[in-house]
Amino acid sequence: MRGPLILHQTVEYRENEPVLIRTAIKEGANHTYVKNSHWHDELEIVYLLSGHSEIDIEGEHISADPGRLVVVNCECIHRFCIDTAGTDGTAALVLFVPKVFLEEQFPDYKSLWFLNDKTTARPEIRQIMEHLSEYRSGKEDPPQQGLYLRGLILLLLHYMCEEGTGKRPTYIRQDGGSETLKSILGYIDDHYYEPISQADIAARFYFTPQYFARYFKQRTGTTFTEHLTGRRIHQARKDLLGTDKLIGDIALDNGFPDERSFNNAFKKMYCLTPMQYRKNVARGSR
């Protein structure tokens, strides 16, 4: 099942904590945790605990097994999929480190680039990730939590620097790479309900149609058509559950040329027609 791709993720931090810690958790019979293409200002650190992960970062594909640390540098467009089949509980620990924290430690952090060429994290890093996992359980006294967490993150960044850093690629900070893709995704997000085409977007952003198709696929891991359809279905699903609109009206309001094409696309994603989905979800909420 493919969800909509996200343009920009805003990360909210807890009071008095310098970073945000999240987990990717197996939920019931769902064996796959998917986070579609998105970007954010923060440095993101992913440590795989179980299962197998496929991660795309600015066109680089990384296959990760348990024990590997993957770093998503600031403002990079990325997506990841974690297969948790055969595992229970937490599959990955995910840290978000804000710019303000990085600026305090690295005056030139904008040019800093963490590498992902190690398939297994060094023992010191694995131990820190274990401590961070324990921190989430609230074992430390509340007055000490912020200081304890800050110390762990500083130590983690120290070992990450020792593992290897490089210069920030030019295309990440200039308008020839990520900034252009962010603008493209933003335009699609604002105009998905209109009859836009891949040729239209290519011309608007000064690409040839053939190059644009390769560029979009390489940068997002999906085709333009798949992305646009996912965005339309995402909003159409909201209309299905939150309004009494007719199926045909929902289709037209969200950029589909007719009800039939909407039915086919929706069923491909959710294995139900829009009408069946509306009835099943309404029945389940009673």
Rounded distance between C-alpha atoms, residue 243 and residue 9, angstroms: 26
Q: What is the DSSP string of 128-165?
A: HHHHHHHHTTT-S-HHHHHHHHHHHHHHHHHHHHHH-E
What HEC string does 59-74 produce?
CEEEEECCCCEEEECC
Rounded distance between C-alpha atoms, residue 269 and residue 78, angstroms: 21
pTM score over 0.75: no
Strand, helix or coil for residue 90:
strand
pLDDT of residue 112: 80
- Ordered domains of the chain (ranges, CATH): 20-170 (2.60.120.10), 175-284 (1.10.10.60)
**Residue 246 has which token pair?**
């007719």
Among residues 21, 80, 89, the alpha carbon closest in space to that of 50 is found at 89
Is the Cβ–Cβ distance between 36 and 5 less than 8 Å?
yes
Strand, helix or coil for residue 170:
helix
pLDDT of residue 158: 94
Along the chain (286 residues), what's the average pLDDT of each consecutive run of 10 residues? 48 78 64 68 89 80 90 83 64 89 84 88 93 67 74 94 79 53 85 94 90 84 87 90 93 95 91 89 55
pLDDT of residue 127: 94
